[in-house]
Each structure stands twice: as structure tokens, then as C-alpha cells.
């Protein structure tokens, strides 16, 4: 693998940016220079990396000359402003936000699923999928290759960290309230502070509303539907999703029923999943077990006898690693091969 040259991490002080920094050290990427960028609010602070203190630069005013690759995690609004600036200055941008995922000239890439799409980057930008969509892609791609996909029905179980540090802080504060056991018989027994990041109290609860409502479906549900079709190269795939927030800190999970074109064989599917470097077949996939590791955990694999040619499974994956930072770095590694 060749050297990255000059690498920028844009949004380096954020939650995903911190995981990116950690994974860069883990995977020992070779680069000539590493630069950290953030909003003016964080500019001028220092971040430790491999024993060195690196100053965080202001993304609004910094000189962008000489940057070869840029890993972005600063949100869609900021990405729409700054990703084109980095690309115009000569960098290949790998963007973690929703800003460009459905743009026809921007590839949406999971390296284990559609690596060839990364070559078609007319704008100099490659998009990272939504963290929930990402968790499902490898198992669904394998099912499509083996048996053909006709329809996908998904119910997600999304962690608080998917809503950023504020989501984690809100759940943590709620879990610190005394006498949570009183909720056993009375849902109003504990006096919680009014929720801010989520539409209802998350501790001891599940919230069947993740994202903003758009004519009945939420933005998270729309992302799952549209991004799945684009990544898998199946524009007419029938997909339905219900996205749910659960009181878990990290690790998104999804219960999926896939209806296939030919009768699925569970043994053959398990064997293929076991061979796939992005998956690990386990008896009981849980978000806690998936947190901090690279592969997604797939289990509860069985035939769905209520549908024609249906197979059901449960998948858990670290939404900050494979769901965000790791996939971006894997795209970078793929470009360097």
C-alpha cells in the first residue's frame, strides 16, 4: 500500500473524528503529513496523535493546498460547504455525512460490497453510507449474490451514540436517576428532565421515531431504503424500514426479513457469511458484543416461513466504527492499493 501523502481529518474533535484518529493508529497507515480540521469553535486546540500534539486548524480559513485525501465527519450542512472546497484544492474527499449520498455523480461505497463504484467520482467526493444502512449491507449483498433479493423488511434498534455525544449524554443522565425500578409498575414514577436530543425519554424505553418525519416515514427510514438500493445496485428493490431508538450507548442492530428470488439455504448462507471478512456469524449478536470491533455480528439466521423464499436474521455492528469511521478508512485503503 502506498503512502497517503497528506491526510486531513475534518471534524477531528467530534465523536466519529475521535474514532477515526484511533483507527488510523490501529491500522498504521503511512502518511507524510496529518492535518486536523474543525469548526472555528475548536480551532487552535491541540489533539494528541501517536505521541505528538497536533494543532486543530480552522476549516473556514485554512490553506488547503497539498492535501491528497480528506476524511470528513462534520455533518451535512458543513460538508456541502467545505467538501467541494477540499476537492477543488485537489483532495479526494470521503464524506461521512448525508450531503452527497444520493448525488448521481457521487459513489456511495462499502468496500466489501461495491468497491468498483469508487472509481466513478466526478466531483472528487466519495460518500459513506448511513451508519444503520452500513450494518446491513454485507449480509444483504451476500443474500443477493446467492439467492437474489426481491424485498427487504427491516426493524432497526439504533444506539444513542448515533445522535452524537449529546445523545450519549442525555441517556447517561437519565440512567443516573434513582429508583428506575419503580418504572416496573408506573411509567411516570421517575421524574426525568425533559428530553432534548430525543423525542421521548430513552432510558427504560424504546422510541419508534429516529430521524425527522417526512410524510409518514422518517429521514432514517428513507436513508435505509434509498441507500440500500444504490449500494446494492438494485434501484427497484422493495425495501421497508421502521427505525427505532433504543437505550444502548453504541451498536446499531437490525432485524431483517429478506424475500429472495430462489429458495434460500441457511447452511449455504452461514458458510458464505463466515467467509466474508466484514461479517462474523455468532449465536447471539448484540450491540454490546459488537462495540469496539470491526466486523458486524450476524445471527438468528433462519427461514421465514410466513413469506415466499424468505430468510430472517439479526445483525449488530458498531455504528461509530464500521458504521462510520472504519468504512471511511477502508475506502481510503482501497484507493491506495
For each of the chain's 337 residues, which pLDDT tens digit applies? Answer: 678 899 999 999 999 999 999 999 999 998 999 999 999 999 999 999 999 999 999 999 999 999 999 999 999 999 999 999 999 999 999 999 999 999 999 999 999 999 999 999 999 999 999 999 999 999 999 999 999 999 999 999 999 999 999 999 999 999 999 999 999 999 999 999 999 999 999 999 999 999 999 999 999 999 999 999 999 999 999 999 999 999 999 999 999 999 999 999 999 999 999 999 899 999 999 999 999 999 999 999 999 999 999 999 999 999 999 999 999 999 999 999 8
HEC string for 276-290:
CCCEEECCCCCHHHH
From 131, 243, 260, 279, active-site residue: 131
Residues 305 and 330 occupy one common structural domain: no
Residues 274 and 160 occupy one common structural domain: yes
Phi–psi pair at 100, nearest 5 degrees: -120, 5
Let me know if residue 140 belongs to a domain: yes
Let me know if residue 293 belongs to a domain: yes
DSSP code of residue 337: -
The reported pLDDT for the residue numbered 337 is: 85
Let me know if residue 220 belongs to a domain: yes
What is the distance between the alpha carbons of residues 68 and 90, in angstroms, rounded to a whole number?
Answer: 7
Q: Is the pTM of this model over 0.75?
A: yes
Residues 55 and 148 occupy one common structural domain: no
Residues 62 and 204 occupy one common structural domain: no
The reported pLDDT for the residue numbered 317 is: 98
Let me know if residue 222 belongs to a domain: yes
Vertex 106 angle, CA 66 and 59, to 5°: 40
Residues 27 and 75 occupy one common structural domain: yes
Long-range contacts of 170-174 (CB under 8 A, 24+ apart): 170/195, 170/196, 170/197, 170/198, 170/202, 171/202, 171/203, 171/247, 171/249, 172/249, 174/201, 174/202, 174/203, 174/204
Range of the domain at 136: 132-319
Q: What is the count of structural domains for the chain?
A: 2
Let me know if residue 1 belongs to a domain: no
Residues 170 and 220 occupy one common structural domain: yes
Residues 121 and 168 occupy one common structural domain: no
From 252, 260, 276, 279, active-site residue: 252
The reported pLDDT for the residue numbered 1 is: 62
**Residue 10: beta bridge partners?**
37, 72
CATH code, domain carrying 121: 3.40.50.720
CATH code, domain carrying 173: 3.30.360.10
Residues 6+ apart with CB under 8 A from 56: 12, 13, 36, 37, 38, 42, 43, 44, 45, 46, 47
Residues 78 and 180 occupy one common structural domain: no
Residues 303 and 271 occupy one common structural domain: yes
Residues 100 and 145 occupy one common structural domain: no
What is the distance between the alpha carbons of residues 110 and 172, in angstroms, rounded to a whole number?
Answer: 32
Rounded to a whole number of angstroms, the CA Rg of the chain reads: 20
Q: How far is CA 139 from CA 126, 129, 143, 280, 296, in A?
A: 22, 15, 6, 10, 9
Residues 232 and 203 occupy one common structural domain: yes
Q: Is 262 exposed, middle or buried (0-12, 13-18, 19+ CB in 10 A)?
A: exposed
Residues 108 and 170 occupy one common structural domain: no
The reported pLDDT for the residue numbered 23 is: 97
The reported pLDDT for the residue numbered 325 is: 97
Q: How far is CA 105 from CA 123, 126, 216, in A?
A: 7, 9, 29
The reported pLDDT for the residue numbered 270 is: 98
279 is catalytic: no
276 is catalytic: no
Amino acid at each position: 500500500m502506498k503512502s497517503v501523502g497528506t491526510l486531513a481529518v475534518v471534524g477531528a474533535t467530534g465523536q466519529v473524528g475521535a474514532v477515526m484518529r484511533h483507527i488510523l493508529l490501529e491500522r498504521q497507515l503511512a502518511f507524510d503529513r496529518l492535518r486536523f480540521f474543525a469548526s472555528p469553535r475548536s480551532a487552535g486546540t491541540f489533539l494528541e496523535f501517536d505521541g505528538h500534539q497536533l494543532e486543530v486548524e480552522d476549516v473556514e480559513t485554512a490553506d488547503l493546498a497539498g492535501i491528497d485525501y480528506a476524511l470528513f465527519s462534520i455533518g451535512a450542512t458543513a460538508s456541502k460547504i467545505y467538501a467541494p472546497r477540499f476537492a477543488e484544492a485537489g483532495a479526494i474527499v470521503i464524506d461521512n455525512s448525508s450531503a452527497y449520498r444520493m448525488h448521481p455523480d457521487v459513489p456511495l461505497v462499502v468496500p466489501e460490497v461495491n468497491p468498483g463504484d469508487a472509481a466513478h467520482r466526478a466531483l472528487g467526493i466519495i460518500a459513506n453510507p448511513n451508519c444503520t444502512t452500513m450494518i446491513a449491507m454485507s449480509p444483504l449483498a451476500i443474500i443477493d449474490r446467492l439467492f437474489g433479493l426481491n424485498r427487504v423488511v427491516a426493524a432497526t434498534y439504533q444506539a444513542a451514540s448515533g445522535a452524537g455525544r449529546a445523545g450519549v449524554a442525555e441517556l447517561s443522565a437519565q440512567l443516573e436517576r434513582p429508583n428506575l425500578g419503580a418504572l416496573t409498575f408506573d411509567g411516570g414514577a421517575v421524574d426525568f428532565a425533559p428530553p432534548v436530543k430525543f423525542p421521548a425519554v430513552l432510558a427504560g424505553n424504546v422510541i419508534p421515531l429516529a430521524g425527522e418525519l417526512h410524510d409518514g416515514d422518517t429521514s432514517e427510514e428513507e436513508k435505509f431504503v434509498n441507500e440500500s438500493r444504490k449500494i446494492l445496485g438494485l434501484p427497484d428493490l422493495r425495501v421497508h424500514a421502521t427505525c427505532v431508538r433504543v437505550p444502548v450507548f453504541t451498536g446499531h442492530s437490525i432485524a431483517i426479513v429478506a424475500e429472495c428470488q430462489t429458495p434460500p439455504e441457511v447452511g449455504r448462507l452461514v458458510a458464505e457469511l463466515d467467509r466474508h471478512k466484514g461479517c462474523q456469524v455468532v449465536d447471539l449478536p448484540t450491540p454490546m458484543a459488537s462495540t469496539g470491533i470491526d466486523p458486524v455480528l450476524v445471527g438468528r439466521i433462519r427461514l421465514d416461513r410466513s413469506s415466499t423464499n424468505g430468510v430472517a436474521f439479526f445483525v449488530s455492528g458498531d455504528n461509530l466504527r464500521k458504521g462510520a469511521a472504519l468504512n471511511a478508512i477502508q475506502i481510503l485503503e482501497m484507493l491506495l492499493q
